[in-house]
Amino acid sequence: MKARALALCLLLRASVSCTSHTAVRDLDGATIDPLSSEAPTVLVFVASECPISNQYAPLLHAMAKDFGVRGVRFWLVYPSRLDSATKIRAHQAAFDFGMRALLDPEQRLVRFTGATVTPSVAVLRADHSLAYLGRIDDRYESFGVARPAPTRADLDLALRAVLVGKTSAPARTAAVGYANAD
């Protein structure tokens, strides 16, 4: 009996420590670990001053709604120290992304995923392994150069692959936007 209790304790301790490095704060100051559940998760890295991030708000809102009913969790992640809770609330009011916002000024989620620019997305499988990292779609060819419409919906394709247990191809794409630095 003691051995079982000890094994359970060690298992619980290991599971807490494996995700504690991804705990961040929400807009009310509560500590949140977006990887605390066993569900596919999308981390959407944005910045309030990033016009490319703002352009994607309607699409991301629709995707969060559509894939949310399939069990996928979406989080907006603000990695810049310049984005305060007050500024993010105003940003949320102006651009309804349709998902909960997290502050990542210590860039824990940035380091965990390898995200380098805003906007970019990280798709994590239910086991928290990285399935996809990169652009939302290929609308932006380079900074300031946009197509009239995207020709490849990378985030959508990655999510569809994850939901059926397949690997996203490609697993990484280059996102166009602002560097994740202050």
Question: What was the pLDDT predicted at 142?
Answer: 84
Pick from 104, 154, 102: nearest CA to 133? 154
Provide the CATH number for the domain formed by 22-179 in this structure. Answer: 3.40.30.10
Give the predicted TM-score (pTM) of the model. Answer: 0.87
Angle between helix axes 154-163 and 57-68 (nearest 10 degrees) is 10
Please state the length of the chain: 182
Q: What pLDDT digit, counting tens, does each position of 120-156 carry?
A: 999 999 999 999 999 999 999 888 888 999 999 999 9
> CB atoms < 10 A from the CB of 112, how many?
19
Give the model's pLDDT for residue 181.
58
